[in-house]
Structure 1
């Protein structure tokens, strides 16, 4: 069965290895951690402070691929413990009828499988019209932890480097205040 781990990265539009090579070529410094597959925030918390170092200045995120009533695609990146009410989130974003996108659409628009969604999926999403929304808390962190298109790897990347990568891919960030 195909899953979101690096064992199946060659079936993605951009493999995790290719993404990491792009990041290195762009001069982006990052720390790479390999760990058990993480499908949920609860899974991620089992490796935080262990396989994925935690601590002050590091922010762990959760990511949602959503569609609105007008069938527009959104990638929402929030601090992992932030409460989410889709109706209130939609009001903050100025869109109505937010719902979770299907696994097929996730692959079509972001090029990843469920469990591997992250802002780094905008390497694909920028070209397919996905709107990126990020928690303003990301800007204040020293490092952001994100999956590099697979869920058994995590990179720690500086927010400024992440913003530069996203801009290079043509992704515009809309910031969400708490």
Structure 2
């Protein structure tokens, strides 16, 4: 795995949603580095990728309330344990659970294993609320997938949670999760 600057020069075999991610970032003038790799489905595989990226390892969880009327994208450090009760209290939404793959695709144009903050560029109706654990904001870099889990990006945290999120027309809610029982 080797860190590359910017978009791939050869886009053969890459999905449209991945190319749209590069187009989006390039249009904003956001600098980013990229690593191409085998599909990453677990945090263990992501840890190896993130060592090369040198970025905050994020778990991206796509959640919903019981009625499936409110959807959330939660970004937490990869080494933190997610406790629904702790988050539910902070956002005023009881009975959180993982949203379905169908809803993930409908709102973010992302499939399981590829959940990423970049999927919010596909949420034109602002159906998904972005929740970011405060510890994610402490690092210089944040890592994410370009809407597919065969590549990973490294973007400056200040760019991601500044101009990138703003261009997606989303706000973020900062939460404080301890990961403790």
What is the TM-score when the length of structure 1 is the normalising length? 0.85
Query: Which residue of 2 is the match for residue 3 of structure 1?
Result: none
Query: Which residue of 2 is the match for residue 66 of structure 1?
Result: 63
**1:24 and 2:29 are equivalent in the alignment:** no
Unaligned runs of 5+ in 1: 1-5
After TM superposition, give the deviation of residue 21 of structure 1 in Å. 1.7
The answer to whether the 8 Å contact 1:127/1:170 transfers is: no
The answer to whether the 8 Å contact 1:126/1:171 transfers is: no
Correspondent of 1:106 among 77, 101, 104: 104
Q: Deviations over 1:25-62 (max 9, x none)?
A: 2110011111111012122123332xx333xxx31100
Map 1:88-127 to 2 at 5 A.
Answer: 88-127=86-125
Distance 1:16 1:95 in 2: 32
Distance 1:126 1:143 in 2: 26
Query: Which residue of 1 is the match for residue 140 of structure 2?
Result: 142
After TM superposition, give the deviation of residue 20 of structure 1 in Å. 0.7
The answer to whether the 8 Å contact 1:16/1:148 transfers is: yes
The answer to whether the 8 Å contact 2:64/2:96 transfers is: yes
Distance 1:111 1:48 in 2: 24
CA-atom RMSD in angstroms: 1.7
Query: Which residue of 1 is the match for residue 4 of structure 2?
Result: none
Map 1:27-42 to 2 at 5 A.
Answer: 27-42=29-44
Correspondent of 2:83 among 85, 100, 105: 85
CA shift in 2, pair 1:83/1:162, >3 Å: same
What is the TM-score when the length of structure 2 is the normalising length? 0.84
CA shift in 2, pair 1:144/1:97, >3 Å: same
Unaligned runs of 5+ in 2: 1-11
Query: How many residues of Structure 1 are paired with residues of Structure 2 in the alignment?
Result: 164
The answer to whether the 8 Å contact 2:140/2:158 transfers is: no
